Amino acid sequence: MYNSPVCYKHKANAEDVWWVIEDEGGAVKSESRNLLSQEWSAEYEGREIRVTNETYGKGVARLYIDGELRDETDEGASKFVPRGEILLSTELDDTGDTVDIRFRATMFSVKAKILVNKKQIGGDSFENSPIEEKVDSSHPEVWKPSILAKGVAYLFISTTIWFLINLIYAVFFWEFGA
Measure the CA–CA gap between 153 and 73, rounded to whole angstroms. Answer: 26
Q: Is the pLDDT of residue 155 over 90?
A: yes
Q: Residue 16 has what pLDDT?
A: 46
The pLDDT of 121-138, averaged and rounded, is 77
More confident residue, 145 or 115: 115
What pLDDT score was predicted for residue 59? 74
Residue 20 in 3-state DSSP? strand
Domain ranges (residues) in the chain: 31-134, 145-178
Percent of the chain with pLDDT over 70: 69
CB-CB contact of 88 with 73 (8 Å): yes
CA–CA distance, 30 with 21 (Å, rounded to integer): 6
Q: Which CATH architecture has domain 31-134?
A: Beta Barrel (2.40)
Give the Cβ contact number of residue 78 at 10 Å. Answer: 18
Confidence of residue 43 (pLDDT cuts 50, 70, 90): very high
The larger pLDDT score, comparing residue 37 to residue 140, is at: 37
Where do the DSSP E strands lie in the chain? 20-22, 28-30, 37-44, 47-54, 61-65, 68-72, 83-91, 98-105, 110-116, 119-123
Paired strand residues for 65 = 49, 68
- Greatest mean pLDDT among 5-14, 66-75, 122-131: 66-75
Query: Which residue, 51, 48, 8, is CA-closest to 31?
Result: 51
1 has pLDDT over 60: no
Q: How far apart are CA 128 and CA 113, in angstroms?
A: 9
Lowest mean pLDDT among 23-32, 46-55, 107-116: 23-32
Residues in the chain: 178
pLDDT band at 138 (very low <50, low <70, confident <90, very high): low
Q: State percent of the chain over pLDDT 90.
A: 28
